[in-house]
Amino acid sequence: MIGLLALVAIAMALADDEVTGLVVFSGGLLILFGYHLRKLERLAQWTLEPVGAPLPSAMGIWRRAFRELERRSREAHEARERLTSALDRFHDASHAMPDGVLYLSGSDRIEWLNRKAEQHFGLHAMRDQGLQVTTIVREPEFVRFLQAGDYRDALVLNSSRHPGLTLLVQVVPFGEGQKMVVSRDVSQLEKLETMRRDFIANVSHELRTPLTVVSGFLETLIDGFDDFEREDVQHFLQLALDQSLRMQALIGDLLTLSALETGAPAPAEERVPVAVLLHSIAHDARVLSNGRHEIAVDLGDEDECGILLGSEKELRSAFANLANNAVRYTPDGGRICLSWRRGPGGGEFSVQDNGIGIDPVHIPRLTERFYRVDRGRSRETGGTGLGLAIVKHILSRHHAELRIESEPGKGSRFSAVFPASRVRAGIRSARS
């Protein structure tokens, strides 16, 4: 540019007449003006192009200005990219959170919420933004809690929209009167807590009944020891002993269950010969039945029974529980069959009886602790109400499944289905 001006100046100096000099000078100025105008136009056009588009090439002062503009624009672009990706990450993380997060303005209007909060409170991020939260989340405890302004303790909220959903809601004030509401699904914990309370109530109840009987007998004996015949005293003592044995059985079952539930080590990988185990269980069941039932064992080809991998003690306890139940819930003269079948998919142990059977409504709950169809009959026959809960635990520790089929008045079939990984061919069948 300076060169162009110098040329014009020389032209003027060399020119003989002033008019020619002026024309050359004006021409030079016009060219200069045109050049700057073009660069300015190009700059204006560039501002309309997408961010990051390269600036046109230029010389002199324009070149410096363009370079500086380009550098600043690039830096601003990069800063914006960084911010956008940080925002995206925050957004993704917020939506992936297992807890609900809801931001409220100073007047409790919804500013932002993540997906979990949508589910927990039945809100919709787009639809409900800007609305007063208490016009949508209307549970009176929540409204009171939010308005009371004391957020030191969390609120346990039973959702009215989703029955069975219990939320732990915490409010954290921040900024200028804004609030962050954090919600956590504690339904499972609540359920466990209810189960724990029920369990303690049940155990206390189960122990109190025999204990009352024992202390009643003892009081009677103390009050009138000399008035009773020897046979009466013996009778009372026998009844007291029966009740103590009942308590002992209950405590034994409770300890077994607790050992199974509270991190007892995985069952030992013993090789349990199924035929031997079933014959021994049938023998014990016959002792319990005392000739009142016909108890058969069906093993198919005994040589093909094979072995079960697991804890002999636990498997014996589970199978014996099922066999004993069949004896206890089958009227005299009934027929009970213990059977075992091994196939490529695993093995199945089953106990079939033609006893009193079970109404289908009870079947899904039979393995709950202390669940009994007929409390009286269970007690009379020495039941604790924990047998099937123990069976279920043992089977699940052996990756097996308990199946129950039953029809009232016709009988029941309880079976334990083992996966192939738990069943092996026995020594004799492996040879054949």
Give contact residues for ligand ADP (rule: CB under 6 A): 325-326, 329, 353, 355-356, 358, 366, 372-374, 378, 383-389, 412
Nearer Cβ to ligand ADP (186/358): 358
Residue among 178, 181, 180, 174 at smallest CA distance from 106: 178
d(CA 26, CA 32): 10
- The amino acid at residue 316 is R
- Residue 404 CB, nearest distance to ligand ADP (Å)? 8
Give bridge partners of residue 309 from the DSSP assignment. 271
CB 95 within 8 A of CB 115: yes
- Residue 274 CB, nearest distance to ligand ADP (Å)? 21
- Residue 363 CB, nearest distance to ligand ADP (Å)? 9
- b/e string for 282-299 if b means 16 or more Cβ within 10 A? bebbbebbeeebebebeb
- Residue 337 CB, nearest distance to ligand ADP (Å)? 12
- Residue 320 CB, nearest distance to ligand ADP (Å)? 11
- Residue 327 CB, nearest distance to ligand ADP (Å)? 8
- Residue 385 CB, nearest distance to ligand ADP (Å)? 4
Q: Token digits for 60?
A: 């002199």
Nearer Cβ to ligand ADP (182/389): 389
Residue among 432, 426, 431, 430 at smallest CA distance from 275: 426
- The amino acid at residue 359 is D
Per-residue CA distances from 410 to 263, 319, 329 (Å): 39, 21, 11
Specify the pairing of strand 294-298 against strand 335-343. parallel
Nearer Cβ to ligand ADP (210/387): 387
d(CA 140, CA 211): 46
Nearer Cβ to ligand ADP (82/365): 365
Phi/psi of residue 358, nearest 5 degrees: -135, 135
Nearer Cβ to ligand ADP (385/426): 385
Nearer Cβ to ligand ADP (171/320): 320
- Residue 245 CB, nearest distance to ligand ADP (Å)? 14
d(CA 355, CA 342): 26
Nearer Cβ to ligand ADP (157/336): 336
Nearer Cβ to ligand ADP (102/366): 366
Per-residue CA distances from 278 to 13, 295, 320, 334 (Å): 127, 12, 9, 19
Find the distance separating the first CA and the last CA of the chain, reported in whole Å: 106
- The amino acid at residue 146 is L
